[in-house]
């Protein structure tokens, strides 16, 4: 009877240990930190308004936002996104997957070709690092005043 009970307990322990290992649970061993899965990220927002020389809002202007993965120099080969202005001339770019980009170049273009393009570099500062992979957030306001092309 004792042998059967010991065999049953050993089998149950092995099955439960295997199930816990498959589910990703580990035993608590002093001094070991749990592993985190994922990548560091921050939440960034760039917003503003596009106007003409007469301070009139411009609808349908294209804003191309390019990330700088190195954070130095003029290497804007990171992630790119395009947003358009609303009828009020306002635009909003949001990036929730911003790591390692902390610098952006915002290029404002007129799709019709009547106005000259303009660009500005924006450096984001996510603040102090929070817990885990989250590195904080930042928001910047970038306004553009486009001038007509000379004929």
Between 96 and 57, the higher pLDDT residue: 57
Would 129 be classed as within a structural domain?
yes
Would 12 be classed as within a structural domain?
no
Kindly write down the DSSP assignment for every residue of the chain, as one continuous string. Answer: -HHHHHHHHHHHHHHHHHHHHHHT-----TTPPPP--S--EEEEEEEEEEE-TTS-B-TT-EEEEEEESSSSTT---S-EEEEE--TTSEEEEEES--SS--EEEEEEE-TTSSB--EEEEEE----S--STTEEEEEEEE--EE--BPP-
Question: Residue 101 belongs to a domain with what CATH number?
Answer: 2.60.40.10
pLDDT at 101: 66
Q: Which pTM value belongs to this model?
A: 0.69
What's the mean pLDDT in 106-134? 86
Would 9 be classed as within a structural domain?
no
Would 51 be classed as within a structural domain?
yes
Would 48 be classed as within a structural domain?
yes
Question: For the chain, how many structural domains are there in total?
Answer: 1
pLDDT digits (tens, 9 = 90+) for 58-106: 999 999 998 876 666 666 667 788 999 999 999 999 987 756 667 889 9
Would 19 be classed as within a structural domain?
no
Would 128 be classed as within a structural domain?
yes
pLDDT at 72: 64
Range of the domain at 106: 41-145
Would 25 be classed as within a structural domain?
no
pLDDT at 69: 67
């Amino acid at each position: 009877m004792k042998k059967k009970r010991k065999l049953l307990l050993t089998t149950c322990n092995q099955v439960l240990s295997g199930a816990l290992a498959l589910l990703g649970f580990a035993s608590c061993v002093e001094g070991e930190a749990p592993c985190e899965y994922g990548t560091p990220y921050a939440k960034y927002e760039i917003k503003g308004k596009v106007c003409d020389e007469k301070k009139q809002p411009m609808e349908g202007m294209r804003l191309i936002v390019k990330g700088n993965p190195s954070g130095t120099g003029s290497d804007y080969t990171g992630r790119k996104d395009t947003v358009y202005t609303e009828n009020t001339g306002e635009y909003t770019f949001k990036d929730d997957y911003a790591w390692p980009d902390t610098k952006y170049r915002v290029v404002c273009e007129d799709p019709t070709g009547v106005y000259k393009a303009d660009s500005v570099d924006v450096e984001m500062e996510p603040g102090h690092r929070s817990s885990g992979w989250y590195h904080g957030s930042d928001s910047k306001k970038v306004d553009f005043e486009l001038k007509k092309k000379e004929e």
